[in-house]
Amino acid sequence: MPLEVEEAVQDPTLAALRAAVPKPGFEVRADGTYALHFPGAGVSLYLDRLRREHGSLIGELAVQSVARGARTVRGSTVSVGDLNLSSVQARAARAKLLAAPAPIKGFDWLGAVEQLTIEVFESEREGAPAVDLREVPLPAEERFHHVLGLALPQKSPAVLFGDGGTLKSYLGLYIAGTLARRGIATGYLDWELDGPTHRERLRRLFGADEPRVIYLRCDRPLVYDVDRIRRIVSAERLRYLIFDSVGFACDGAPEEAATALAYFRADRQIGVGGLHIAHCSKQADSDKRPFGSIYWHNSARATWHIKPANENFPDGSTVDLMLTPRKANLGPQHTPIGLTVSFTSTSTEIKRFSLQDVPEFAEKLPVTLRIAGLLRGGAMSVTEIAAVNRSLRKGKYFIELGGTGSGRIIGLLACDNCHDTP
């Protein structure tokens, strides 16, 4: 052990740091970052935020040292800053800069930076190994969280989008609280409002017995905040997240494909499923996909559009909402659902209702679902629903109870444990 390090470990604080230095060698960590350790010298190099810029490989290099005499911040950090690994001159300059605050006798800073660079380049070229798809573990049978009829992929991104003022954030917080009550550790990432506002909403939604929702105020784009979020997700063992909202979390214009793609790459690094709240455009087809690049829709595994029954909310105490599924990659397409949000002076209640009961919503439903709504009151003959009899199909919703021709009696098929009951 070099003298500087041997003397350093006599200090109890530095000794604890010294003991934390991992085993020697190069390390590809589970979070996709890289590290190179020199325990004998009390030095570790960490490379994070690796990316390509104009053909060069750039990363954020953090250097830690516990050697005596090293000028450090927060215990052991010597330096943090971007490094162009593709530039020989940049690597040499960084090694020279490191030698000044940490002049460790006999330690080759240039050799350390060069070794890290070579290891990272080789690792990047090799990439993840190929695997036999037959040996990949199958997903668990239950792949969705079901809340109020919404089917949310457990491990993939879903998007809830609609105009401003359609209670998307309220619904997102209700989903977070409901999952938390089921024992699913859930986090709420907030780019728009603040903690006190969401605390008040949580109390209104769930009363004094508030579920444990981990709140995280975010002020930077997701691509720059992903490391902090990832650490919190790991520390709190979070299994689902609400992102409110993507427009504020973007690093660039939402209309740009690169912005949406970078956002979802950052989301993938976090490693848990989540509901991403978004807005919609003012175009004629604004109810088909979120505002911005088509990749907001394409990159999500499920998307839901939310719309109020009355745009002006004339009765501020009650709002009826229609949620329409626009995409479902991981299972069958789900049916639209209706939600009523009721406000009092101290509470907010969200519950389901039948869309067939609201004319503005009912006329937008597929004919099959409109027939199903009629049959909720009891079996009917084909003659009684002749205007739409071409949509009468046995199977998912209907069952024939007898009769022939126009006298056939049609009933609504029972659907136990069905999340798509009209």
**pLDDT tens string 315-352:** 568 899 999 999 998 877 788 899 999 999 999 999 99
Q: To which H or E segment does residue 205 belong?
A: helix 195-206
Q: For residue 274, how far is the Cα from the chain centroid? A: 3
In this prediction, residue 283 carries a pLDDT of: 73
Q: Which phi and psi (to 5°) does residue 294 adopt?
A: -60, -20
pLDDT band for position 32 (50/70/90)? Answer: confident
Tally the residues of the chain. Answer: 422
In angstroms, rounded to a whole number, what is the distance separating the alpha carbons of residues 196 and 386? 55
Residue 392 pLDDT greater than 50, yes or no: no
Task: Please report how many Cα atoms fall inside a 13 Å half-sphere around the Cα of residue 130, on the Cβ side.
Answer: 1
More reliable by pLDDT, 394 or 295: 295
In this prediction, residue 405 carries a pLDDT of: 65
Of 11-15, 359-363, 366-370, give the lowest mean pLDDT range: 11-15
Contact 287, 252 (CB under 8 A): no
pTM score of the predicted model: 0.70
Domain boundaries, the chain: 3-126, 144-362, 372-412
In angstroms, rounded to a whole number, what is the distance separating the alpha carbons of residues 95 and 224? 26
Instruction: Evaluate the omega torsion of the peptide bond into residue 245 and state whether it is cis, within 30 degrees of 0.
Output: yes
In angstroms, rounded to a whole number, what is the distance separating the alpha carbons of residues 335 and 70? 63
In this prediction, residue 391 carries a pLDDT of: 47
**CA-based max dimension of the chain:** 99
More reliable by pLDDT, 386 or 283: 283
Of 155-164, 193-202, 314-323, 348-357, give the lowest mean pLDDT range: 314-323
Please state which architecture CATH assigns to domain 144-362: 3-Layer(aba) Sandwich (3.40)
321 bridge partner residues: 308, 339
